[in-house]
Amino acid sequence: MFPYDNSRFCEPIDYMQEERFNIFKSQDHENGHFDVTFEIDGKKLFANKFMLTSVSETLKAMLSDRWTKKDEAVKIEDYSYDNFYEFLHFLYTGSCDLTNENVFKLVDMAEYYGVSLLKEFCDESLKEMEYNFGNIEELLEFSEKYSMSKLKAAIKHFVTYNFKEVVSNKRFLSYKKPFVEFMSSFDYCSKEKIFEAVYKWTEHQVMKQTTDKNQKFDRLEAVKNKLITEFPHLLFLVEKGFHLSPNELKDLYGRFHNRDEDTKFKLIYEMAEKQALQEQKMSSDREKFNIVDSIKADLSEVLLIVKFYKMEQNFLINFVVAKGFITAEQASHINDIRVSITNNGKLVSGVLSDDIGRAIERRGTYYVTRRNTAVIRFADYKFPIPSTPNAVAKTDGIDWYLCLEEDGILTFKHHSKIDEYDYLIAEMKSENGFSLTPDKETSLKACFNNLDPVI
């Protein structure tokens, strides 16, 4: 058998493709065997359905019998005749005549009609555009809106190699936050230059919103607050003398979007560590200054919101536990779910570690009011009774339990009401004693038990 070589077929295929396009280009309705008519700007454009529907599911649906009537023109109102012509040109040949004016509309058409190859074709063209201080922001917005990766990369290249000129240009201070945020994420520019540019832009925004009459205005504090709020990824803020309080670090941690819990915790730890080292330098007694205690103090509020249960086990043990933020015992219970019930200001809680606990946690706080002082059924929570033995056993000294009754309803019961058909799932304990007050609202909620032990 001879080796297969399809290169000899390319020329005939190109020829046939060109012939099909020439028929479309002629717009000879009598001899073109067209079976669809578009009406745009009062003009008609003829085409062959197969050439369009084979590459666009949107056009396939639009031109189906369900949406169009036979021999009735399809009206196109959102695009001009010339732009729609070039769109069909591409569907016939895989190419079209792009200009600086029509390329943006063709991208929109590619997105609307689901023709990814056309979007890639336009992206390739846009990356070769001539960029300047007047169009880079608008082009970036366009690249974000339509996910144009090559255009975005080209803008990044232009800004990186013209960074000094971009930030010194008078237009820079009028750029919107997304563009400045985009610039601040660059890896190829020095952190010093990025910080100076972002600080300059932020200070301008702060001063625009402030009047001279505000005598108590603290510009440095206002700039710091805006930097933390608008650019939380600039972790070298502390290197510039900005000391962040525990609450500010907590707010910053909450703004670390699109990062896993391990990465977020390591980043905030590094920031607290840098602050501690700076504090040590300024301390009158450097030798006695405890860096570890300083870091823990700065992260005291952060630890309240860290989702330890989302961390990788290796990171949890070798970083979080190793640095003394939680104990190994606490780490072994991070997947436990604390379930708590409150009534008339009194609290009772227990631990679950199965799907029941997760179902309660996902729903949020559940409220119910009952007269019974020994039993509360949470009718909206119904689960299949497990085939395994009870998760817990009835024990002396435990007054309250969570259980599944025979019908699978989640129920909170006093030990005196427990019977042989109840499937016990959690002991419920209270620090100061617990009782149900009739006709008072009772709440049920669950959350992952990160740090505090159940009493």
Q: What is the 3-state composition of the chain as percent helix, strand, coil, each rounded to the nearest 5?
A: 45, 15, 40
Q: Across 103-117, 267-281, 284-298, 354-368, which has the greatest mean pLDDT?
A: 103-117
pLDDT digits (tens, 9 = 90+) for 431-441: 888 999 999 99
Is residue 322 pLDDT above 80, yes or no? yes
Is residue 3 pLDDT above 50, yes or no? no
Is residue 76 pLDDT above 60, yes or no? yes
Residue 191 DSSP symbol: H
pLDDT grade for 13, boundaries at 50, 70 and 90: low
pLDDT digits (tens, 9 = 90+) for 156-168: 999 988 988 988 8
CA distance 36 to 18: 20
Q: What is the pLDDT of residue 11?
A: 63
What would the two tokens of residue 81 be?
Answer: 């005749």
Domains identified in the chain and CATH numbers:
7-126 (3.30.710.10), 232-328 (no CATH), 337-448 (2.40.100)
pLDDT digits (tens, 9 = 90+) for 167-191: 888 898 889 988 988 887 776 666 6
Residue linked to tokens 């990824």: 233
CB 222 within 8 A of CB 206: yes
Cβ within 8 Å of residue 7, ≥6 positions away: none
pLDDT digits (tens, 9 = 90+) for 142-157: 999 999 999 999 999 9
Is residue 6 pLDDT above 50, yes or no? no
Q: Is pTM beyond 0.85 here?
A: no
Q: What is the pLDDT of residue 238?
A: 53
Q: What is the pLDDT of residue 419?
A: 92
Q: What is the pLDDT of residue 144?
A: 94
Query: What's the mean per-residue pLDDT of the chain?
Result: 84
CA distance 169 to 419: 79
Phi and psi at 443, nearest 5°, equal -115, 145
